[in-house]
Amino acid sequence: MSDPTPSTRDRILKAALLAFARDGIQGATTRTIAQEAGVNEVTLFRHFQNKEGLLAAVMVHVVQSRHQDASGDDAEWTGDLKQNLQRFAEDLYAKLVGDEPFLRTMIGEGRRHQDHAKTVIMDAVKPVRDRFIANLETARKAGLVREDIDLGIASDAFTAMLFGGMLRSTGGCSWGYEVPQFVSTCVDVFAAGLAPQPQS
Write the CATH number for 147.
1.10.357.10
Asked, for residue 1, whether it belongs to a domain, the answer is no
63: in domain: yes
Determine, yes or no, domain membership for 139: yes
User: Residue 64: what pLDDT?
Assistant: 67
pLDDT of residue 126: 81
Tell me the CA distances in angstroms from 45 to 34, 41, 48, one per residue in order.
9, 6, 5
Q: Is residue 43 part of a domain?
A: yes
pTM of the predicted structure, to 2 decimals: 0.74
Q: How many domains does the chain have?
A: 1
Angle ∠(134,137,141) on CA atoms, nearest 5:
140
Q: Does 68 reside within a domain?
A: yes
**8 Å CB contact between 74 and 134:** yes
How many Å from the N-terminal Cα to the C-terminal Cα in the chain?
A: 61
In a domain, 199, yes or no: no
- Per run of 10 residues, the mean pLDDT along the chain (length 200 residues) is 67 90 86 94 93 84 61 68 93 86 76 66 77 94 95 95 91 85 97 86
Give the domain extent around 64.
Answer: 8-194
Q: Give residue 51's identity as a one-letter amino acid code.
A: K
Residue 175 in any domain: the answer is yes
Residue 2 falls inside a structural domain: no
